[in-house]
Amino acid sequence: MSGGATRAWALAAALCLLVVALDQGVKALVESNLTAGESVGLIGPLDLTLSHNQGAAFGLAGGGGAGLVLLAVAALVLVGFLFARDPARPWMWVAVGLVGGGALGNLIDRALAGEVTDFIDFPHWPPFNLADVAIVAGVVLLAATYLREGETG
């Protein structure tokens, strides 16, 4: 493995760990200060509302259980495969670190509690958490890196 590839893997792993730590830390803070369903207004339409779901991101596919765990693991394997093919691709380590950290953050919740803790609450949108934000941002960045290549390549 080249020096650039080794560095990319190390950066992706560090970002992944940072996302997991932030996600789990904020979830613990919210869990210790709010009761389920309790809502605290933050800024404008943004509230903190403690909720739990057994579904996928944003509460979709409620009650997915083992199927959602397998889907998350499959997604991690796919992202890892794409990264392994070209770890030096610009921004790839960021996308992989975000997706990996978000997926692991929610998998930890499922493993420990059988459900995911959500707390970011906007009107007309299901509650979500930092792991969900990281996953969505990572997938968008991953898609952008491949779309950009299509424009220039």
The rounded Cα 89 to chain-centroid distance in angstroms is 21
Taking residues 128-149, what's their average pLDDT?
Answer: 92
**Residues 63-83 as b or e (16 or more Cβ within 10 Å = b):** ebeeebeeebeeebeebeebb
Copy the structure tokens of residue 59. Answer: 């509460």
Q: In terms of Cα–Cα distance, which of 22, 120, 23, 111 is closest to 66?
A: 111
pLDDT tens profile 97-137: 999 999 999 999 988 998 899 999 999 999 999 999 999 99
Do the beta carbons of residue 142 and residue 50 sit within 8 Å? Answer: no
Taking residues 23-31, what's their average pLDDT?
Answer: 97
pLDDT exceeds 60 at position 14? yes
Task: Point out the residues that are catalytic.
Answer: 118, 132
pLDDT in the model for residue 58: 53
pLDDT tens profile 30-76: 999 999 999 999 899 999 999 998 765 555 555 556 676 788 788 88
- 3-state SS, the chain, equals CCHHHHHHHHHHHHHHHHHHHHHHHHHHHHHHHCCCCCEEEEECCEEEEEEEECCCHHHCCCCCCHHHHHHHHHHHHHHHHHHHHCCCCCCHHHHHHHHHHHHHHHHHHHHHHCCEEEEEECCCCCCECHHHHHHHHHHHHHHHHHHHHHHHC
What does pTM read for this prediction? 0.87
